[in-house]
Amino acid sequence: MRRIYTIPLPGRAPLELGARTLVMGILNVTPDSFADGGQYADAAAAIEAGMRMAADGADIIDVGGESTRPGSDALPEDEELRRVIPVVEALAARVPVPLSIDTYKARVAREAVAAGAAIVNDVSGLQYEPALGDVAASTGAALVLMHTRGRSDDMYGRAVYTDVVAEVCAELQEASRRAEASGVRRDAIILDPGIGFAKRAEHSFEVLARLEAFAALDRPILAGPSRKSYLKAAIGDVPPDEREWATAAAVTASVLGGAHIVRVHGVRAMMDVVRVADAVLRSR
């Protein structure tokens, strides 16, 4: 069974992790996300989608303004703020669940937390902007550190491993040390092995198959297997919006492997998947 963790959050009750798997809904406020690009680029549509996720049972809503799909270009800071801050402000006032800001930029994180976000989700593990650690420390926001190598335009070129799980564990441990050196409390850190980031399909499947190994890091684990291209190695070349059944299988594997949080696009469908996977886990 999973270890139990209590994650302090600014301005609200702590996040209790481990008794059941929490579902983080992905809210991409972008025109070019790989899975749902353009659906929620308009602030009003994004706010409505976030409210719908909360009604469908999401435990956390993760708002992102910059696509980090392989090959994507970096977004100017001002444009990212323009996209996400109105959505965070509106949802903070309308939904009871904590909000996460999916960004690697320190200024975006600071303004999003001021607008109501309680979690910062950094895909770079503090590699792109180390000052983001200072923001998490000073605001008291929880910090998700994801594993990757390089930037979006060269991450696959760096997907060379001898033992992918051992190396990802070691690099996540380094990310955690960077965060703690910035003043982030250890009990505020959540780790994400970065399925699909700087990993070939075989690497991502091995991370899923051996997810239990990450318990050795003694921090809660977030898994983000939803709709990503590694799934094509198993199901063929189908578009992202037709990968929900494949995502359901990967979410089940994540739960049985000990993930505390799963990050998904289709909240309503994945809530049922998580409930059944949790029931199996409890029956071990």
Q: How far apart are CA 70 and CA 86, in angstroms?
A: 27
Give alpha helix (H) positions in 56-141. 77-94, 106-115, 131-139
Q: How far apart are CA 243 and CA 62, in angstroms?
A: 20
CA distances to 88, 116, 199 from 95, rounded to whole Å, are: 10, 11, 35
CA dihedral of residues 193, 195, 196, 199 (deg, nearest 10): 50
How confident is the model at residue 154, as a pLDDT?
Answer: 87
Q: Which two tokens stand for residue 283?
A: 């029956």
How confident is the model at residue 42, as a pLDDT?
Answer: 83
At 130, the amino acid letter reads P
| Residue-level pLDDT, tens digit, the chain, 284 residues | 799 999 999 999 999 999 999 999 999 998 755 555 556 668 899 999 999 999 999 999 999 999 877 666 788 999 999 999 999 999 999 999 999 999 999 999 999 999 999 999 999 999 999 999 999 999 999 999 999 999 988 898 999 999 999 999 999 999 999 999 999 999 999 999 999 999 999 999 999 999 999 999 999 999 999 999 999 999 999 999 999 999 999 999 999 999 999 999 999 999 999 999 999 999 98
How confident is the model at residue 73, as a pLDDT?
Answer: 75
Q: Which two tokens stand for residue 99?
A: 């909000």
How confident is the model at residue 41, as a pLDDT?
Answer: 64
Give alpha helix (H) positions in 10-76. 43-55
CB 211 within 8 A of CB 221: yes
CB 204 within 8 A of CB 147: no
β-strands 5-9, 12-17 pairing = antiparallel
Q: What are phi and psi of 198, to 5 degrees?
A: 50, 40
Q: How far apart are CA 191 and CA 202, in angstroms?
A: 21
How confident is the model at residue 32, as a pLDDT?
Answer: 55
Q: Which two tokens stand for residue 166?
A: 């051992």
Element (H, E) at 280: helix 267-282
DSSP state at residue 179: H
Q: Which residues, including other chains, have CB under 8 Å from residue 98's CB and lie 6 or more apart?
A: 9, 12, 15, 59, 60, 61, 117, 118, 119
What burial letters (b/e) apply to 242-275, b meaning 16+ CB within 10 Å? ebbebbbebbbbbbbbbbbbbbbbbbebbbebbe
Q: Which residues, including other chains, have CB under 8 Å from residue 232's CB and lie 6 or more apart?
A: 201, 238
Q: Which of 253, 258, 251, 254 is nearest to 273 (CA)?
A: 251
CATH 3.90.25.10 describes domain 5-282: no
Q: Which amino acids are annotated catalytic?
A: 228, 263
At 232, the amino acid letter reads K
